[in-house]
């Protein structure tokens, strides 16, 4: 007698795809039944080199056979090399790295460090933020998952999200007045603060929040607000870091350097690897004050070796430039779809991290949760895995993040399936 594949699984949010996945290669997934799916989400927005990249496979096979895991107080050459290379890829003074496993863990370490170094405890983050499901990371997450779990860490304050498609503060032409919104946001924060503002943590592009790209200049102005209050700026580049936006790091566009940078998903290209990176001065103060972040897999050699291979491929194949040119193709294709379908209200993003927002009425920008779900299902039937943020009011927003190794033909194929799915669902 057959049983449901989910019978013994705890459901952890969202819904499960209808098929079991048997294998993955490059930009495609293959189901147990033999169907091929084009993966437009890079797995969990992570597999920037595609699935089963031969050099990553070779690294895993070699490393797991020689040195896979160590006591947390022991170091290995892959860890030493990766921390050095990350520092070399970043502007000064970011030159100290802690290697961990997940984005939540790297954000947890960043917040913990910021509190210890500043001697303060209040943390600011966007109203549509997502920073993870561990204690401090979840407390700084506002897009979902706050209700029903009891008190979060004390001192978490929300900053209005600068959404250019749905602006709350506007210029006379109706466009977003993000500077006035930012000023207002910090007026509210100052009014609520008990005088213990430690840090502000933000994503350069809010992914789970709806693929909301911070306006040019916003990050610089935000850093100024933090400096005025002796706060640290933590930039969470879990999804934007390492070439996805067409630059090595998304914060570089605004000419600003965060006090602490967190990386995860893209660093391991699908394997569990993350990093918290800061300056020598901040690290020294944290160490003097007894910074503690022992975890089971801190500084593990296996995934560190994979991280080095990821950097090798990104550099050799110039995947920052590839993300720029492929992003132009993707953007043009999405805008072409918007020109054919009135339900596509907005196209946004950078490089190979883009999104579209569906609206049942372009003038009123009425949300399209049900239509978004229908388009997602039809894309899947056609052979395209698309990601929709299935939260109330955001069900019609698609996150599109193909691997940086996706070919132009694969991008065009995905765009064609998305075009067909929208057309059939609104007919």
Positions marked active-site: 130, 203, 236, 239, 265, 399
CB atoms within 10 A of CB 342: 13
Q: Can you tell me the distance from the alpha carbon of 149 to that of 155, in angstroms, rounded to the nearest whole number?
A: 17
- CB of 308 within 8 A of CB of 273? no
**What would you measure as the largest C-alpha separation in the chain, in angstroms?**
66
Which backbone phi and psi does 25 adopt, to 5 degrees? Answer: -150, 130
Q: Can you tell me the distance from the alpha carbon of 164 to that of 174, in angstroms, rounded to the nearest whole number?
A: 10
CB atoms within 10 A of CB 66: 11
Distances (CA, A) of 213 to 188, 206, 353: 23, 6, 10
Q: Can you tell me the distance from the alpha carbon of 350 to that of 214, in angstroms, rounded to the nearest whole number?
A: 11
Q: Can you tell me the distance from the alpha carbon of 276 to that of 293, in angstroms, rounded to the nearest whole number?
A: 11
> Which residues is 21 bridged to in the sheet?
31
Tell how far CA 1 is from the center of its chain.
41
Q: Can you tell me the distance from the alpha carbon of 252 to that of 104, in angstroms, rounded to the nearest whole number?
A: 23
| Cα torsion through 97, 101, 105, 106, rounded to 10 | 30
Q: Alpha helices, DSSP H only, in 36-134?
A: 42-45, 54-64, 77-89, 103-118
Rounded (5°) CA angle 352-358-363: 125
- Judge if the upstream peptide bond of residue 93 is cis by omega within 30 degrees of 0: yes
Residue 410 is inside which H or E element, if any?
A: helix 408-426
Contacts of range 256-259, beta carbons closer than 8 Å, 24 or more positions apart: 256/219, 256/220, 256/223, 257/91, 257/92, 257/93, 257/94, 258/94, 258/223, 258/233, 258/234, 259/114, 259/199, 259/226, 259/232, 259/233, 259/234
């Amino acid at each position: 007698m057959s049983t449901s594949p989910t019978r013994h699984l705890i459901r952890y949010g969202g819904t499960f795809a209808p098929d079991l996945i048997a294998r993955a290669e490059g930009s495609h997934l293959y189901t147990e039944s033999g169907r091929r799916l084009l993966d437009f989400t890079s797995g969990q927005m992570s597999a920037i080199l595609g699935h089963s990249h031969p050099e990553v496979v070779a690294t895993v096979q070699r490393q797991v056979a020689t040195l896979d895991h160590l006591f947390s107080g022991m170091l290995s050459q892959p860890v030493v090399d990766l921390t050095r290379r990350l520092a070399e890829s970043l502007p000064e003074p970011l030159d100290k790295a802690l290697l961990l496993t997940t984005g939540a863990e790297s954000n947890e370490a960043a917040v913990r460090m910021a509190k210890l170094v500043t001697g303060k405890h209040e943390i600011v983050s966007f109203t549509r933020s997502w920073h993870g499901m561990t204690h401090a990371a979840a407390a700084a997450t506002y897009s979902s998952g706050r209700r029903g779990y009891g008190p979060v860490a004390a001192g978490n304050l929300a900053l209005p999200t600068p959404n250019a498609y749905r602006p709350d503060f506007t210029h006379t032409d109706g466009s977003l007045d993000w500077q006035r919104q930012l000023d207002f946001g910090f007026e509210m924060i100052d009014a609520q603060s008990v005088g213990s503002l430690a840090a502000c943590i933000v994503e350069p592009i809010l992914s789970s929040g709806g693929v909301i790209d911070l306006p040019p200049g916003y990050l610089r102005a935000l850093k100024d607000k933090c400096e005025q209050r002796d706060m640290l700026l933590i930039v969470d580049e879990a999804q934007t870091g390492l070439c996805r936006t067409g630059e090595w790091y998304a914060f570089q566009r605004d000419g600003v350097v965060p006090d602490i940078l967190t990386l995860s998903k893209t660093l391991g290209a699908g394997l569990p690897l993350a990093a918290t990176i800061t300056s020598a001065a901040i690290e020294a103060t944290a160490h003097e004050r007894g910074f503690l972040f022992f975890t089971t897999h801190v500084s593990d050699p296996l995934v560190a070796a994979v991280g080095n291979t990821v950097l090798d491929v990104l550099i050799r194949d110039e995947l920052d430039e590839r993300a720029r040119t492929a992003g132009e193709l993707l953007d043009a294709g999405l805008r072409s779809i918007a020109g054919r379908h009135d339900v596509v209200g907005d196209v946004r993003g950078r490089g190979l991290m883009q999104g579209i927002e569906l609206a049942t009425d372009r003038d009123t920008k009425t949300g399209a949760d049900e239509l978004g779900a229908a388009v997602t299902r039809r894309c899947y039937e056609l052979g395209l895995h698309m990601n929709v943020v299935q939260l109330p009011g955001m069900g019609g927003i698609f996150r599109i993040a193909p691997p940086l190794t996706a070919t132009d033909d694969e991008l065009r194929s995905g765009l064609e399936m998305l075009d067909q799915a929208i057309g059939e669902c609104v007919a």
